[in-house]
Amino acid sequence: MKKLFTIWALLTILLLIVFLNTISFGQLSSPTTETVYGGRINGISAISTGGTSSRIFIATESANSVFYANVTTTSGSESFGSFTVMPGLGNDDGYGSGISKIYAHQASQYLFFLQNNTLYKTIYSGSAVTMVEAAAISDFIIYGDYIFYIKGSDLYYGQLNASGDVVVGSTGTIAIGTTPTSPSIRVNPSNSKVYIAALTTTPTMYKTTNDYNSLSGSTISAVTLGALSGSVTSWDAFGIGPDGTLFLGGDDNSNKYVQYSTDDGANWSGGVTTLNGIGGPNFAFGGSSSPYTVHFSKGYATFTTASGFGSWAEYGNLGFETHPNDGAVIVDPNNSQIVYLTTDQGIGATKNGGPNIFGIDTGVEAVQVNDFSMNTAKDKAWLASKAGIRKVTSYSTTPVWSSAMFPNGDGSPYYSAEMENENDVTAYVGNLRIYKTTDSGSNWTQVLSEATTGYASVGTRAEAIEVCPTNSSLVVAGFYVDGSNNGGFWYSTDSGASWNQQRLVAVSGTSDVDVYDIEFTTESGNPVAYIGVEYDATANARSVYRAEYSGGIWTTRQDFAGTYTSTGSVIVAQIMDLLKTGNYVYACGTDAGSNHPILYYRDYTADYTTSAGKWTPMTTTGFPTSQVGKAVAVGGGVVYCAVGNIIYTIPETSGTTWSSGYTYPTGTEINVLFYDALLAGTGTGLYGHDYTGALPVELTSFTAGVKGNKVTLNWETATEVNNYGFNVERRVKLVSPNANQSGKGEWKKITFIQGHGNSNSPKTYSFVDEPTGGNEFTYRLKQIDFDGTFEYSPEVNVRFSDNRNFKLVQNFPNPFNPETVIKFELPQASFVKLRVYNTLGEEVGNLINEKKDAGIYSVDFNAKHLPSGVYLYRLETNGYTQTKKMILLK
């Protein structure tokens, strides 16, 4: 089965909901994350929390955006704690998988990070996330107690205090003179200057004239760079060693390069290393003086100022799950022999500077799932992800997951996994190659590679592998190739020992059609493969092909031709996912113009000449436009379709409109759906949902309190599904001269509070109001769904005490032009006169002349018709009179 959103087993969800008010708009429960540890790591940071303890932070390519763990750093007694997601950066907080630049501030323990070029901060001990600086930030660092970031063509700087706030008066900006491309900021520990490298194919460099901690009045000048050697296609990293040596790291698409300069960029040495692969994003340094260790990407070398590098070595590994990859690397702030690095499974470490590494993934729930294959008993399954292959047993009771497997040390992302029907010890998995195991992953054999297919070693993906359910010797695979060439449909009749291609469109060569998914049925006793492909006008490829295998020969046809559709017309589409369930085959994707998602179905047991046997479209009402149907599942009388970051639902037999069942954080890719409850394998993890029909936003409390002239509203939710947010509404109790005519005013929206979208953990909200115009007020919340549906909370009432005094407040602003606001306070219901006079005592404005209830009132006064000058305003009521002066300046 192709790319799957797995959300069920480990995730049977029992909900006991005690609520104050229920606001319904979802149809799927909030997701439960499977305890499959690891995932792609985008960034690493670490701070010392004591002489023998550190805290490490990792940013992941996951909806669980950032994790942290505590480390004991005593040499010989090192220990690494389990990772925990940062409270404000979990899978329901919406920050997504795009965080890569993170720096922790030791004094405050705050973590600063960039997301969508906006700078934020948060702390491990609280859920609040605070925006520090809005958009257009291209890079930042924290060095000691100082923060530096680039916004456009300027360098911004400031000093941080022990609360993680910028010290007032410490900030400033310095013009760089240009907007640097792919900038990297570093502070030179030798000369204390701030350096900026623009990491292009021909790097440029700049530095400040003043030290990093006294930048007021500083300028930035260009650093003259000498020639760099080697055919580097990408410079990826810039670093400065403890002795002031400048380092640049990059690659030529095959090998890593590191160049260094000991004379501030005038001359460069070094070159190609013995490390293959692409460059990493940063350098890290072990030691405080020459000689010291330089860490870059997946390797390290000793560096001496006078003589340069010793030999480069790749980090050692004790198992496939700790194979290093080309990512970030950080040296522990307490113990330079502890180094944190990215691995194929996720995050790893070494305690001896590099020769031996091991995984420290426990708690990192950030695996990006691409495919999932399960037996009919729902207790054993294989999973393919960007972070390796995993097998699970006892899935329906107490799941036991294997460590990540990388067949024959092949660390490329995996896109497909297929169990050999009910034989769980035998499985096929694919990245750009296909591997087979017959002993649950203890040993692997490469059964198909680019040497046979002829496809490129970069940009090729085995998107689908299927074993025929009636003949396990018949195995098929579908390939997708990026760029102008296409993949194709391949098959083996001897359990993977040998392979051939069956062309669907092309007459020669291996470039045929780009395959997304394959699904087997049995029709008239023969195996039939339905093949979903990418629309390609050049190759004349589209929609779904049908390939029937009989007598050692494949018979193929374009199955969305008019002869086989209920409309009688050709369906030109891109089909991303296929599903066989019961007697039906479903196909989902998008029309050729990507105008909207589409979903078709047919009864494969019926003849094509009958209406049931023809491909029939499901409704598109309720679907968004300009998006793609990525995955489909059916179960419990419900059809599920993944579109973008949303799982849509519709009744299987009587539905007329698609409804949003659950919305994942923006940017989440839903790759596959699997039903038994609902499993969702996404680009950010493996999750489970229960279908609830309508899971509510569960409002557990809503209170109002009065202090002085202000009302504080507090409310809390236990769960949220598709919660866009809350309108806070208020109305005042009106008092008429005739008590029998007293009543309530109109509801007025006073603010909007953003919701958390989807959340399965408690969330708190607060708003402070300063009402005017009365003494008694009623408040309510209008909870709004993303699709605009809404429901109101219960109401709460407040009444200000009677210990107020008559009071006339100074107008604001003052002086004014031409508008100002006048406020006054009444301790009891009174007849009120509020008038404005000039200095001659002439009345120029009659603002109020009526009875008012006790309370605080605010009156707007517009003097556009009056000349500049001094004016008096007077409040008269029940024996109380007060006059104040105001100045109109035009």
* pLDDT digit string, tens, across residues 580-609: 999 999 999 998 876 789 999 999 999 999
In this structure, which amino acid lies at residue 773? G
Residue 734: predicted pLDDT:
62
Specify the higher pLDDT residue, 48 or 665: 48
**What's residue 30's pLDDT?**
56
The pLDDT of 792-817, averaged and rounded, is 81
Query: Is residue 21 predicted with pLDDT exceeding 50?
Result: no
683-699 pLDDT, tens digit each: 556 666 665 554 457 78
pLDDT in tens, 93-145: 878 778 989 999 999 999 999 999 999 999 999 989 999 998 899 999 999 99
> What local confidence, expressed as pLDDT, does residue 861 receive?
92
Residue 480: count of CB within 10 angstroms of its CB:
22
Average model confidence (pLDDT) for the chain?
A: 88
Whether 742 shows a pLDDT value over 80: the answer reads no
Domains in the chain with CATH codes: 9-13+41-60+63-359 (2.130.10.10), 574-691 (2.120.10.30), 696-799 (2.60.40.10), 807-888 (2.60.40.1930)
Average pLDDT for 328-336: 98
- The three-point CA angle 165-105-296 to 5° equals 145
Asked if residue 298 has pLDDT above 80, the reply is yes
The pLDDT of 757-767, averaged and rounded, is: 85
Does residue 201 surpass a pLDDT of 80?
Answer: yes
pLDDT at 804: 61
Q: Which residue has the higher pLDDT, 791 or 415?
A: 415
- DSSP 8-state class, residue 453: H
CB neighbours of 154 closer than 8 A, spacing ≥ 6? 173, 174, 175, 176
pLDDT tops 60 at residue 388: yes
Contacts made by residues 156-159, CB under 8 angstroms, sequence distance 24+: 157/194, 157/212, 157/215, 159/213
Q: State residue 18's pLDDT score.
A: 24
Angle at 480 between CA 474 and CA 485, to 5 degrees: 120
Q: How far apart are the C-alpha atoms of 73 and 81, rounded to whole Å?
A: 11
- 258 — pLDDT class (breaks 50, 70, 90): very high
Whether residue 813 is preceded by a cis peptide bond, meaning omega within 30 degrees of 0, is yes
Q: Which of 563-572, 627-636, 757-766 has the highest mean pLDDT?
A: 563-572
How many residues belong to the chain? 890
DSSP alpha helix (H) spans, 368-509: 450-453
pLDDT tens, 265-284? Answer: 999 999 999 999 889 999 99
Whether pTM > 0.75 for this model: the answer is no
pLDDT tens digit string along 413-459?
Answer: 899 999 999 999 999 999 999 999 999 999 999 999 999 999 998 89
pLDDT for position 677: 61
Low-confidence winner among 12-21, 342-351, 523-532 (lowest mean pLDDT): 12-21
Distances in Å between the Cα of 237 and the Cα atoms of 184, 240, 282, 333 are 8, 10, 5, 20
pLDDT at 67 over 50: yes
What is the pLDDT, as a whole number, of residue 229?
87
Q: Which amino acid is at 127?
A: S
Q: What is the pLDDT of residue 636?
A: 78
In this prediction, residue 689 carries a pLDDT of 64
Kindly tell me if the per-residue pLDDT of 731 is higher than 70. yes
Q: pLDDT higher for 820 or 691?
A: 820
- pLDDT higher for 302 or 362? 302
Q: Across residues 836-863, what is the average pLDDT?
A: 87
- Return the bridge partners of 419, or none: 427
Q: Does residue 568 surpass a pLDDT of 80?
A: yes
Average of per-residue pLDDT across 287-308: 97
Predicted confidence (pLDDT) at residue 166 exceeds the cutoff of 50 = yes
Maximum average pLDDT range among 274-283, 654-663, 765-774: 274-283
